[in-house]
Amino acid sequence: MSIRLVTFDVLHTLITPRSPIHLQYAKVFEPYLGQLDPNSIKSSFKTALKTLQIEKPAYEQGSQSWWANVIKRTALAAGANPQVLDASLGDIVPKLMKRFSSKEGYREFEDALPTLRALHERQIYTAVISNSDSRIRSVLTDLKLPDYMIPIVLSEEEGIEKPTQEIFLRTLDRVNNMRGERIRPEQCIHVGDELDADYHGAMKAGMRALLLRRIGPDGQQAHIDVGEDLNGVEVIQGLDEIFQVIRR
C-alpha cells in the first residue's frame, strides 16, 4: 500500500538545540546567578522537565508559567541562591523563552530540508505532530522549513499529547480535510525519536512508525529511556532512510 503522508516529531527529529540546552541555560543564568555548574544544570533540567511533564501534561495553565516553573526548579537544584533567583526570574524567563523561539536556540538537521523537499516532489504530504508549545511555529519559520508541511499539531494547543492515539488521528483528519483526501492510517508513516510517544503512539493509531536514532554528535541529545526494548522496532539513523521504507 502506497504511503501518502509522513508526519514528523520536531525536536531531535527535524531540529536540535544549537548547543546543548544546559549550556545555553548556563549562559543565560550567569549574569544574574553567577557561574553554575553546567553538569548540575543538565541534571536538574532533566529532572524538572520530567516532573512538570507528569504534574502538568500538555502545558496545563499555559507554556509561559509552565516553563517558568521548569527554569526556577532547574536553577535552584543547580545551586542558585533562592533570593537572587526570585529577584531575577522576571528577566531570566523571557530571555530563555525568546532564545528557544528562534534559530538562536535551534538549528535544523542537515537532512531535514532535503527530505521534506523530496517527499513533496513525490507528492507525499508532510505534517508535524509534536509535544511542544506554540513557540515551535516561530522556530520552524525562522529556520525556513517549508510551509507545505501542514498542519502543525502541537500538544499545548490541542490539550492532548503523544502517545495518545487521538492526536495522531486528529492530524490525519485535518490533512484529509485540508487536502480533500481520504488517506487512511495505514497509508501514513510517523517519524520521531521517542519510543513510547512517537513509535508506539503512532502504531496504536494504526499508522506505520519509524524510530529515529541518529548516531554520532547529532544523536547525543535525543530522548532515550533507560532499559528501553527495541525488539521488533523499526529504527532508522537518518531521515533519508524514510525512502527505503516507502519503496518497499
* Alpha helices (runs of H) in the chain, residue ranges in sequence order: 21-33, 38-55, 63-77, 82-99, 112-121, 135-142, 155-158, 165-179, 201-204, 242-246
Which pLDDT belongs to residue 9? 98
CB atoms near residue 102 (< 10 Å): 15
Rounded to the nearest 10°, the torsion over CA 240, 154, 92, 41 is -50
- CA gap 170, 22 in Å, rounded: 34
This prediction has a pTM of 0.95
**pLDDT tens digits in sequence order for the chain, 248 residues long:** 799 999 999 999 999 999 999 999 999 999 999 999 999 999 999 999 999 999 999 998 899 999 999 999 999 999 999 999 999 999 999 999 999 999 999 999 999 999 999 999 999 999 999 999 999 999 999 999 999 999 999 999 999 999 999 999 999 999 999 999 999 999 999 999 999 999 999 999 999 999 999 998 888 777 777 788 999 999 999 999 999 999 87
Which residues fall within 8 angstroms of residue 192, CB to CB, at 6 or more apart?
A: 8, 9, 13, 129, 162, 198, 199, 202, 209, 211, 212
Cell numbers linked to 88: 531575577
Apex 224 CA angle, 146 and 64, nearest 5: 60
Run of H or E including 107:
strand 106-108
